[in-house]
C-alpha cells in the first residue's frame, strides 16, 4: 500500500531536457511518465506542476533586458507547452491525463477549476497544472505549494537532479551527507535550499511536507510513494 494517497509532483522543465541543451528529450519524458504510471497503479492519486525552463532557455538569449512581468508570462506559456507534451506522452502510454491552466487558453487546455481538478483525481486521472499561479513574480515552486494545499495533497514531491538535501554541495564536498528528514525550522536555520522562500513558507504554514528526491534515479518515485528511505523529507 502506498504511504501517500494523493501527491503533488513538482517537475522542473529542465528535467525534461535529458542531455539536450533545451527542449524536450523524448526518451526522458517517456521514462518519467512510466514512473508516474507505476505509482498510479499502486492507487496513488497524482497531480503534477511543471516548469518551463527547458523551453524558455531556447529563447533566453533574446530576452535580455525584457520586462520581468513579460518574461514571466512567456515562462507560463512554456509551462503550457510542457504540460501538453507530458499529457500527450501519458496518453500514448495508456494513461488518462487532464491539463489545466492557470492562464486562459480555452482552445488548447482546460482552465484551472479546483472542484473539477478534485473530481479528476478521484476518478484516477493524472492532473497536470500549467501556467504557474497565473501571475508574474511567482515561481512554479510556489504554484506547486499552492496547488498542493488546494487539492489536499499529503506531500509535495520536488523532483530534482540530486537525491535529497545535503549538508553541503555533494559535487564540491565528498564528505557531504544526505538528510533523511529535517524540520522546516531546521531547514531555515541551516539555510537549506529546498523550495523558493514563498513556496517554502506556504508549505510550512499549511503543514504540508516536502519530499526532495532525484527523478533521474530509477524507481525513486515509487520508493518515495511507498514510504521508503529515499530523498529528504522536510516536515513540521
Is 2 marked as a binding-site residue? no
pLDDT digits (tens, 9 = 90+) for 175-202: 999 999 999 999 999 888 889 999 999 9
Helix ranges (H only) for 93-229 are 114-122, 140-151, 184-189, 197-205, 220-225
- Matching CATH number, 6-235, of 3.30.930.10, 3.10.450.40, 3.40.1160.10, 3.90.550.10: 3.40.1160.10
pLDDT of residue 18: 86
- pLDDT beyond 80 at 56: no
Q: Does pLDDT of 87 surpass 80?
A: yes
Is 101 within any annotated ligand binding site?
Answer: no
62 is in an annotated binding site: no
Q: Flag whether 179 is marked binding.
A: no
Predicted confidence (pLDDT) at residue 89 exceeds the cutoff of 80: yes
Is the pLDDT confidence value at 213 over 70?
Answer: yes
The verdict on whether residue 140 carries a ligand-binding annotation is yes
Domain definitions of the chain by residue range: 6-235
The answer to whether the annotation marks 75 as part of a ligand binding site is no
CA dihedral 212, 214, 220, 224 (to 10 degrees): 0
The mean pLDDT of 53-58, rounded to a whole number, is: 74
Annotated binding residue 136: yes
Give the total residue count for the chain: 236
Over residues 30-38, the mean pLDDT reads 96
Residue 167 has pLDDT above 60, yes or no: yes
Q: Which whole number is the average pLDDT over 15-32?
A: 91
Backbone phi and psi for residue 50, each to the nearest 5 degrees, phi listed first: -120, 145
184 labeled part of a ligand binding site: no
Query: Is 96 assigned a ligand-binding role in the annotation?
Result: no
Give residue 181's pLDDT: 95
At residue 149, the pLDDT reads: 98
198 is in an annotated binding site: no
The arithmetic mean of pLDDT across residues 102-119, rounded, is 96
pLDDT at site 2 = 86
Amino acid at each position: 500500500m502506498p504511504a501517500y494517497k494523493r501527491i503533488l509532483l513538482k517537475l522542473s522543465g529542465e528535467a525534461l531536457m535529458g542531455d539536450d541543451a533545451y527542449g524536450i528529450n523524448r526518451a526522458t519524458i517517456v521514462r518519467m511518465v512510466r514512473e508516474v504510471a507505476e505509482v498510479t497503479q499502486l492507487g496513488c492519486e497524482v497531480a503534477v506542476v511543471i516548469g518551463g525552463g527547458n523551453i524558455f532557455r531556447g529563447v533566453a538569449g533574446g530576452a535580455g533586458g525584457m520586462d520581468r512581468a513579460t518574461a514571466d508570462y512567456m515562462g507560463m506559456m512554456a509551462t503550457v507547452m510542457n504540460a501538453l507534451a507530458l499529457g500527450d506522452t501519458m496518453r500514448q502510454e495508456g494513461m488518462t491525463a487532464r491539463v489545466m491552466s492557470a492562464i486562459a487558453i480555452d482552445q488548447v487546455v482546460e482552465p484551472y477549476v479546483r472542484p473539477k481538478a478534485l473530481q479528476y483525481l478521484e476518478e484516477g486521472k493524472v492532473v497536470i497544472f500549467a501556467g504557474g499561479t497565473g501571475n508574474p513574480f511567482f515561481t512554479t515552486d510556489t504554484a506547486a505549494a499552492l496547488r498542493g494545499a488546494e487539492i489536499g495533497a499529503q506531500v509535495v514531491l520536488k523532483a530534482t537532479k540530486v537525491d535529497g538535501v545535503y549538508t553541503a554541495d555533494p559535487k564540491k564536498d565528498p564528505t557531504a551527507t544526505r538528510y533523511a528528514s529535517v524540520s522546516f525550522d531546521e531547514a531555515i536555520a541551516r539555510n537549506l535550499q529546498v523550495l523558493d522562500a514563498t513556496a517554502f513558507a506556504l508549505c510550512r504554514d499549511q503543514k504540508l511536507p516536502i519530499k526532495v528526491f532525484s527523478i533521474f534515479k530509477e524507481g525513486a518515485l515509487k520508493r518515495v510513494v511507498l514510504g521508503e528511505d529515499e530523498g529528504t523529507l522536510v516536515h513540521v
